[in-house]
Structure 1
Amino acid sequence: MKIVVVVLIVIIIVLVIYIGLMQLQVHKINMQLEKRLRENTRQPVSIELINKDINRLTANINKYLKVEEHLRLKGIREDKMFRELIVNISHDLRTPLTAVKGYQQLMKKEQLSQEQRKRLEIVEKHTGDLEMLIQHFFEYSYLTNAEPQIDLERTNLNSLVGDSLVTFIPYLEEKDLSLRLIESQSIFVLADKQLVKRIITNLIQNCIQHSKGVIVVSLLVEESAVISFKNPVKDLPHTEEALLFERFYTGDKARTKSGGLGLAIVKLLAEQMGGSTQAIIEDHTLDIRVSLPLYK
């Protein structure tokens, strides 16, 4: 009887040790996976315990990780090829576009009827839209491929925004649009002046293309400095707010002119300076907000 009890005790002890070892191995597998995520390593998962099911689990995990790594590298290669393709297309389109604009200038010097001049103005407008699209293609490709050269310095946001907006007054008048700048205090940010100017340019161009009323630009101080561009919009649902900054997003037919790249560039430039972007749609008004770090 005592022998049976001793044998049972030994079996229980062995089982407890075995279960403990399996739990320890599962813990090690988890630790290795967490390390891969934390340190971005590509080390395969390894085990020491000889157990059929755990061996099979580990082998499947390693197979999955290998497939995932292959897909990740494939995605990087395809994205790089895509950006290089955009750069090449941009260069290829600029030459014939320059020729088209040259012929348009020659035609304007000719004696044209009122109807012909009206048609020429329409062609010039579409040529300008195409030129902007090509420029956005090139700029986006450059920003995503090149190492950013950022010069952060103390910058008066009020002066920078005001000076940038003044240059667009003729374009606003041409579109019968009005602009209102709201600022309650002097705001200083830690930013790159040239990048902020490019952000303002893309935002005001977006408003000029799509706005049908008053464009309201506000400078606010919250947790960071905020540049807000508000303009009336039609038929743009709340569900598409987060998509506005995605490249090539087109919320409606009117937005196909910019190809969705203008706001994608704004988002990219803001993030390079430690900032962020947000879109708010409320009461048929689109509010594009760019947050930049305050100078402290």
Structure 2
Amino acid sequence: MTLSFDGKVAIITGAGGGLGRSHALELARRGAYVVVNDLGGSVDGVGGDDSAAQKVVDEIKAAGGEAVANHDSVATPEGGKAIVQTALDTWDKVDIVINNAGILRDTSFAKMTPEQLNPVLDVHLKGAFYVTQPAFVQMKEQGFGRIVNTASGAGIFGNFGQTNYGAAKMGLVGFTNVLAQEGAKYNIKANAIAPVAATRMTEGLLGPLADKLGPEYITPVAVYLAHESCEVTGEIYSCGGGRVARIFVGVTPGIVDDELSVEMMGERLAEIRAEDGYEIPTSMNEEMGIAIKAMS
């Protein structure tokens, strides 16, 4: 069965190229009305160019779809509100938010400056907050919403030279987890993707693999997670080159000892780290329940 988005309104940030453009084109092809947001800046977040978003809008309209361009920055509360207001002014609602906007300012941790740290946090992490919050309010009122956040293996697993980017991306995992809980009773689902893709931000890093890692392999995952039939929430999906896998945080059985000491930590560390019998809590309270059960 073809999954349709007829009548759904989607906001996609950073949609002037790469993954965001691919997501926008596919959603529009399936009937969604799309707000194509892009500041049009460079990879490191400098400058701006209104034509980036407009070109994608023109592509969508040429194919018979409906879209509107937005050039506000996600990195401020005012910009986030303006992006959502564009959707409300044009189509009176917001059903889907895909937080995709991003920049890179890589360097080793010892050399990182505030000028390399703050803008990356502002765009990736705070930008998702600023865009999603006004949309989330609207989603609660209408009793429906789908949120897809773009995380990264650089945050979940680590990557040299990207403490700023990695911290922001792992922050989005926590953001996703809490949104999944707060949105549950309003039929708002929130999930994250961790893409492996060849885009403007990753060119030069992937070598010959780049040809197999186009955005077209990421978009099916993001678009499915944005569909009303998707029932999973609070999950992370690694995707790239046709491969899709779930990433999760688990808790080992560990140990319980009333006489726990510094020395015992060293002596029983292998037992604490052993992965057999791990559990996957879906909330802090559930993890606390696992701990209480073990202690009792």
- Which TM class, normalised by the smaller chain length? under 0.3
Instruction: Pick the structure with more helix per residue.
Output: 1
How high is the TM-score relative to the length of structure 1?
0.23
Compute the TM-score of the two structures, normalised by the length of structure 2: 0.23
Q: Which structure has the greater CA radius of gyration?
A: 1
